[in-house]
C-alpha cells in the first residue's frame, strides 16, 4: 500500500465531449452537453446540482450503465465504448464500485451475502467472499447486523451495507449517488473517515453526487452540474 498524492497521480477517469440526449417525447432533451471531467487516482470529487440537472444521468454513464450519445468515458485507460455488454460487466466488477441512490440490495439475502455478491460474481468462494465482506461491514459499523436481511434494517443501515458491497472488490473508482442521504451525522462521519482511508490506502477515486453540504465540502473538489456541463466550485 503506497500513499498516493492526489492531483499528481495517474488519471483514473476521463470524460471528453460527453453528451447525452434523450430522444423520448416530442422534443430532444440534451442533459449532458460536451461535458469534460478528469479525476485522478486517490482523488475525491463531489458533484452538486439542482434536481433534474443530470447528475444520475452522468453517474450512469461513468459506471457504464448507460451509453453516451456522443463523446467518451475512459476509466483506468480503458474506453468504455470499446467494450461489449459482457466485457463491460466484467470491467465494472473489476474496477467500479457503485452506490445507488436507493441501495438495490437483494431482499432474500442477508447483509453479508449482499456485500459479498460482487466477489461471488467474480468467481471467489463463498467463504473467502464473506470473510472480506465481514471486514467491510465492520468498517461501516454493520458487523453485528451481518445476518439480517434488508427488510430488517433501517434505511441508513441498508445504505451502509450498499457501501460495503461497493467497496468489497477494492475498486479503482467508486461512484455514489447521495450516499449519506439516509445517515445520521455520526454514521455519515464514519463513512467519510472510511472514504479518507481508502483514498489514501488504495488510491481509490471517488465521484459523489450529493446535496449534503458537509459531505461536498469534505471532498478535494466540488463541481456543479449546470447547463449540461461541470463548473468548478472550489479547489483546495
Ligand atoms: N430515460 C430517460 N428518458 C428521458 N428523459 C430522462 C431519462 N432519464 C432522465 N431524464 C430526464 O433528464 C433530466 C436529468 O435527469 P437526472 O439525470 O435523473 O437528474 P438528477 O439526477 O440531477 O436529478 C431530467 O429532466 C429527467 O427528466
Ligand atoms: Mg438523481
pLDDT band for position 155 (50/70/90)? Answer: confident
Residue 15: give the domain boundaries. 11-105+171-233
Report CA-CA distances (Å) from 189 to 44, 146, 179: 16, 21, 12
Cα of 214 vs centre of ligand 1, distance in Å, is: 25
Residue 3 belongs to a domain: no
Task: Put residue 139 in one of left, alpha, beta given phi > 0 → left and psi -120 to 50 → alpha.
Answer: alpha
Q: Whose CA is nearest to atom 5 of ligand 1?
A: 22
Residue 56 belongs to a domain: yes
Instruction: Point out the ligand 1 atom lying closest to the alpha carbon of residue 25.
Output: 4
Instruction: Point out the ligand 1 atom lying closest to the alpha carbon of residue 59.
Output: 17
Q: What pLDDT score was predicted for residue 4?
A: 46
Q: Whose CA is nearest to atom 25 of ligand 1?
A: 52
DSSP notation for the chain: -----TTTS-EEEEEEEEEEEE--SSS-EEEEEEEEEEEETT-EEEEE--TTSSHHHHHHHHTTSS--SEEEEEETTEEGGG--HHHHHHHHHHHEEEE-TT----TTS-HHHHHHHHHHHTT--HHHHHHHHHHHHHHTT-GGGTT--GGGS-HHHHHHHHHHHHHTT--SEEEEESTTTT--HHHHHHHHHHHHHHHHHH--EEEEE---HHHHHTSSEEEEEETTEEEEEEE-
Number of separate domains in the chain: 1
Sheet holding 70-75, edge to edge: 29-40, 11-22, 70-75, 78-79
Residue 45 belongs to a domain: yes
Domain CATH number, residue 92: 3.40.50.300
Cα of 54 vs centre of ligand 1, distance in Å, is: 6
- What's the distance, CA 197 to chain centroid? 16
Q: Whose CA is nearest to atom 2 of ligand 1?
A: 22
Q: Contact, 208 vs 44, CB < 8 A?
A: yes
Q: What pLDDT score was predicted for residue 37?
A: 98
Closest C-alpha to 97, from 124, 123, 66, 59: 59
Residue 76 belongs to a domain: yes
Mean pLDDT of 151-156: 90
Q: What pLDDT score was predicted for residue 186?
A: 81
Residue 139 belongs to a domain: no
The position carrying cell 463491460 is: 88
- Assess whether the C-beta atom of 210 lies below 6 angstroms from ligand 1: no
Burial-class residue 181 by CB neighbours within 10 Å (0-12, 13-18, 19+). middle
pLDDT band for position 9 (50/70/90)? Answer: low
Residue of 57, 60, 65 best suited for mutating to test ligand 1, as the one with most atoms within 8 Å of CB? 57
Residue 40 belongs to a domain: yes
pLDDT band for position 183 (50/70/90)? Answer: confident
pLDDT tens for 16-71 read: 999 999 998 888 999 999 999 999 999 999 999 999 999 999 999 999 999 999 99
Q: How far apart are the first and last CA of the chain?
A: 25
Mean pLDDT of 176-189: 81
Q: What pLDDT score was predicted for residue 214?
A: 83
Cα of 193 vs centre of ligand 1, distance in Å, is: 31
Residue 204 belongs to a domain: yes
- Assess whether the C-beta atom of 169 lies below 6 angstroms from ligand 1: no
Residue 166 belongs to a domain: no
pLDDT at 200 over 90: no
Q: Contact, 35 vs 96, CB < 8 A?
A: no
Q: What pLDDT score was predicted for residue 6?
A: 46
Amino acid at each position: 500500500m503506497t500513499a498516493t498524492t492526489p492531483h499528481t497521480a495517474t488519471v483514473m477517469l476521463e470524460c471528453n465531449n460527453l453528451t447525452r440526449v434523450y430522444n423520448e417525447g416530442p422534443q430532444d432533451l440534451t442533459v449532458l452537453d460536451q461535458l469534460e471531467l478528469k479525476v485522478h487516482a486517490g482523488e475525491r470529487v463531489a458533484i452538486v446540482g439542482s434536481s433534474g440537472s443530470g447528475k444520475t444521468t452522468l453517474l450512469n454513464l461513468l459506471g457504464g450503465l448507460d451509453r453516451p450519445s456522443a463523446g467518451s468515458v475512459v476509466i483506468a485507460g480503458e474506453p468504455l465504448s470499446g467494450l461489449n455488454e459482457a466485457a463491460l460487466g466484467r470491467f465494472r466488477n473489476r474496477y467500479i464500485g457503485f452506490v445507488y441512490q436507493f441501495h438495490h440490495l437483494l431482499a432474500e439475502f442477508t447483509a453479508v451475502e449482499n456485500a459479498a455478491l460482487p466477489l461471488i460474481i467474480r468467481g471467489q468462494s463463498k467463504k473467502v467472499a464473506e470473510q472480506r465482506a465481514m471486514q467491510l461491514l465492520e468498517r461501516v459499523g454493520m458487523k453485528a447486523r451481518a445476518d439480517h436481511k434488508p427488510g430488517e434494517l433501517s434505511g441508513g443501515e441498508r445504505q451502509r451495507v450498499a457501501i460495503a458491497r461497493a467497496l468489497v472488490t477494492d475498486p479503482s473508482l467508486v461512484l455514489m449517488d447521495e450516499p449519506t442521504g439516509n445517515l445520521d451525522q455520526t454514521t455519515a462521519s464514519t463513512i467519510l473517515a472510511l472514504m479518507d482511508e481508502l483514498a489514501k490506502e488504495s488510491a481509490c477515486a471517488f465521484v459523489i453526487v450529493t446535496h449534503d453540504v458537509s459531505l461536498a465540502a469534505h471532498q478535494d473538489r466540488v463541481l456543479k452540474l449546470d447547463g449540461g456541463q461541470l463548473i468548478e466550485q472550489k479547489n483546495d
